[in-house]
């Protein structure tokens, strides 16, 4: 069955606590949703704020390839005639082909919030829908709080739908506005509505009981053909139904057509693109599109996946534009190492004993608190050292750092190519001073090391119950203007942990200078994909 997708990320999604999109962002998101094949894009509430007003003004020049841009608003105010209502006329001025309006379904809201009679509320609905239809708009009617209203008074809830339908509404959408309806009950109510109303029925659910996706799918099973939601589940309180997950489930699990199988391969890219614009990290465990959705860490799982991915993957990751990842950690088995090496033609360069030693070294490091999944640079260094066990580009003779007031001075002594190299540097803090002194030592033999720059620095306490005596993990991100990577260090001393991460970064870059190996780099790129 053809299911129409209605995305409200740009309206309902922006009501989420940490979600903020500029007008420029909203334009970019709208283009991405159109490319994905979404049927309706709800751009916002014109007239309610300057940002949405600006977006709709700019959207008039956008030629959508597939999607129908939608303006959102409410029924007329009780004190206004519909033709004089500023908000209703702002919907027309937005010049969108579709308008979505919401009206009151729950008699509690009619009496308490609006302070009007039930008959007056029905007039608000019918007048507004009829007025918009008279101006040539496709009208989606959102029955706000429908399920609460149905439970309070089935008769009145049905009368509100009848008022919208008789006035010409093209779609009747039932909204679980408070997100508190259980799936079984929602399914029963949807079945009752489907039995009593013709035409296109829609569903709009919220995630306050972690049931938004399940509830949306339950409505589809009762014959509803229009589903609303937000990309990545953004939205007020606990969020709206995650449209990303809904689309994948409808296409791959329930046999319905939404954006189509070909477009489905762009689902992961779209979800991550929107997350980046919203400046929110995409949840790693998000179904279908998350970085961890097809990640395998346990040795038993990895071993089985190597033989047949169906053993621990419910679909092929490529179907939704994602990919399989094998994580290397203290839970890994030999299969994890073999997978990574074999995947990129390196399996013949490490024998069984070398692979075993590499795995044991990694397990021991993670036991100490290292996080190799996030430190792809340290992982690459381990692989390179395993391939070149006799290569020592430099050794540390000594290092020290002294801080006085706001300045720190570091002294570093290294041994490299039978030379003793020493340098002293003053920096803005101990880590900066150590970084500068280390580079000065190495740059006499390796001038190119100057191109490596520190771009980010993070510290995490590992065993916080020990207070200031706790171990810390330092993650440092680097760039050489061609690629980026991260290295990690662990110690009870934050300066020492930072020093370990600094050394890893320098050793790695020098090994890269010493031997450019595209096979290793490809393996590392695969390992750190999506980290």
pLDDT for 517: 46
Residue 382 falls inside a structural domain: no
Q: Are 414 and 397 in contact (CB under 8 A)?
A: yes
112 inside domain: yes
* Pair 187, 135 in one domain: yes
Q: Flag whether 282 is in a domain.
A: no
Domain membership flag for residue 390: no
DSSP state of 208: T
262 lies in the same domain as 299: no
How far apart are alpha carbons 224 and 216 in whole angstroms? 9
Using CA atoms, how far apart are residues 303 and 331, in angstroms rounded to an integer?
12
Which one, of 517, 522, 529, 503, lies nearest residue 378 by Cα? 503
Which CATH number do you get for residue 416? Answer: 3.30.160.270
With contact defined as beta carbons under 8 Å apart, do 323 and 305 qualify? no
Candidates 221, 527, 512, 251; CA nearest to 385 is 512
Whether residue 262 is found in the same domain as residue 118: yes
Q: Are 259 and 362 members of one domain?
A: no
Whether 42 maps to a domain, the answer reads: yes
Given a contact cutoff of 8 angstroms between Cβ atoms, the answer to whether 229 and 242 are in contact is: yes
356 & 315 share domain: yes
* Shared-domain flag, residues 255 and 306: no
How confident is the model at residue 528, as a pLDDT? 39
SS (H, E, C) 414-481: EEECCEEEEEEEEECCHHHHHHHHHHHHHHCCCHHHHHCEEEEEEEEECCHHHHHHCCEEEEEEEECC
SS3 499: helix
Confidence at residue 163, expressed as pLDDT on a 0 to 100 scale: 98
In a domain, 374, yes or no: no
Judge if 148 and 44 occupy the same domain.
yes
Find the domain containing 89 and state its range: 4-277
Contact present, 187 and 217 (Cβ < 8 Å): no
Is the pTM of the predicted complex or chain greater than 0.85?
no
Domain count for the chain, please give it.
Answer: 3
Q: Please give the C-alpha separations between residue 193 and each of 159, 207, 399, in angstroms, as whole numbers.
A: 12, 22, 75
User: What is the DSSP secondary-structure string of 292-320?
Assistant: TTTEE-SHHHHHHHHH-GGGT-SS-GGGG
286 assigned to some structural domain: no
Counting Cβ atoms within 10 Å, is residue 515 exposed (0-12), middle (13-18) or buried (19+)? exposed
Q: Is residue 85 part of a domain?
A: yes
Q: Would you say how long the chain is, in residues?
A: 531
Provide the pLDDT for residue 393: 84
Angle at 313 between CA 311 and CA 315, to 5 degrees: 125
Dig out the tokens for 154 from the structure.
Answer: 């089935």
The one-digit pLDDT tens for each residue of the chain (531 residues) are 999 999 999 999 999 998 989 998 999 999 999 999 999 999 999 978 888 999 999 999 999 999 999 999 999 999 999 999 999 999 999 999 999 999 999 999 999 889 999 999 999 999 999 999 999 999 999 999 999 999 999 999 999 999 999 999 999 999 999 999 999 999 999 999 999 999 999 999 999 999 999 999 999 999 999 999 999 999 999 999 999 999 999 999 999 999 999 999 999 999 988 988 888 878 989 999 998 888 776 555 555 656 666 777 899 999 999 987 666 544 445 555 566 555 545 566 677 787 778 778 877 787 777 766 566 778 778 888 888 887 778 899 999 999 987 889 999 999 988 889 999 999 989 999 999 999 999 988 888 888 888 888 888 887 766 666 678 888 888 887 777 788 889 999 999 999 999 998 888 888 887 765 444 444 444 433 333
Asked if residue 349 and residue 268 are part of one domain, the reply reads no
Cα–Cα distance list, 149 to 104, 137, 152, 153, 228 (Å)? 9, 27, 5, 6, 19
pLDDT at 329: 47
269 and 205 belong to one structural domain: yes
Same domain for 194 and 57:
yes
CATH assignment of the domain containing 66: 3.20.20.70
- Same domain? 456 vs 346: no
Q: Judge if 272 and 312 occupy the same domain.
A: no
């Amino acid at each position: 069955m053809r299911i129409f997708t209605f995305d409200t990320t740009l309206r309902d999604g922006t009501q989420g606590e940490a979600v903020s999109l500029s007008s420029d962002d909203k334009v970019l998101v709208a283009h991405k949703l159109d490319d994905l094949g979404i049927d309706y894009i709800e751009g916002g509430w014109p007239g309610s704020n300057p940002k949405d007003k600006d977006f709709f003004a700019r959207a008039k020049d956008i030629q959508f390839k597939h999607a129908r841009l939608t303006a959102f608003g409410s029924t007329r105010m009780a004190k206004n005639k519909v033709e004089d209502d500023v908000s209703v006329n702002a919907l027309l001025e937005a010049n969108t082909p579709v308008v979505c309006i919401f009206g009151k379904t729950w008699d509690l809201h009619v009496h308490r919030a609006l302070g009007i009679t039930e008959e007056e509320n029905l007039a608000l609905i019918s007048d507004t829908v009829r007025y918009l239809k008279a101006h040539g708009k496709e009208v989606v009617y959102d029955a706000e709080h429908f399920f609460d209203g149905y439970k309070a008074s089935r008769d009145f809830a049905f009368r509100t739908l009848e008022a919208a339908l008789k006035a010409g509404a093209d779609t009747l959408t039932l909204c679980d506005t408070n997100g508190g309806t259980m799936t079984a009950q929602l399914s029963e109510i949807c079945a009752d509505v489907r039995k009593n109303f013709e035409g296109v029925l829609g569903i709009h659910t919220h995630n306050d009981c972690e049931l938004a996706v399940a509830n949306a799918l339950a409505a589809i099973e009762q014959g509803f053909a229009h589903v609303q939601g937000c990309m990545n589940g953004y939205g007020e309180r606990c969020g709206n139904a995650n449209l990303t997950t809904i689309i994948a489930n409808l296409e791959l699990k329930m046999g319905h057509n939404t954006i189509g199988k070909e477009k489905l391969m762009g689902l992961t890219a779209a979800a991550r693109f929107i997350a980046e614009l919203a400046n929110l990290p995409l949840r790693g465990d998000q179904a279908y599109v998350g970085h961890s959705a097809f990640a395998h860490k346990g040795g038993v799982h990895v071993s089985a996946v190597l033989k047949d991915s169906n053993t621990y993957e419910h679909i092929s990751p490529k179907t939704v534009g994602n990919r399989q990842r094998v994580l290397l950690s203290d839970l890994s088995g030999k299969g994890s190492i073999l997978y990574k090496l074999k995947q990129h033609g390196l399996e013949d360069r490490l024998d069984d004993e070398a692979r075993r030693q590499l795995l044991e070294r990694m397990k021991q490091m993670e036991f100490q608190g290292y996080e190799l999944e996030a430190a792809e640079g340290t992982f690459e260094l381990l692989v390179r050292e395993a391939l070149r066990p006799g290569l020592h580009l430099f050794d540390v003779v000594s290092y020290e750092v002294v801080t006085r007031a706001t300045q720190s001075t570091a002294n570093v002594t290294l041994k490299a190519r039978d030379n003793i190299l020493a340098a002293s540097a003053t920096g803005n803090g101990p880590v900066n001073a150590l970084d500068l002194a280390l580079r000065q030592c190495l740059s006499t033999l390796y001038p190119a090391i100057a191109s490596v720059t520190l771009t980010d620095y993070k510290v995490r306490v590992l065993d916080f119950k020990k207070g200031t005596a706790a171990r810390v993990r330092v993650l440092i991100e680097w760039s050489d203007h061609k690629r980026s990577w991260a290295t990690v260090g662990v110690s009870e001393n934050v300066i020492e942990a930072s020093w370990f991460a600094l050394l890893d970064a320098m050793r790695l870059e020098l090994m890269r200078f010493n031997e450019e190996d595209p096979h290793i780099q490809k393996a590392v790129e695969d390992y750190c994909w999506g980290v």
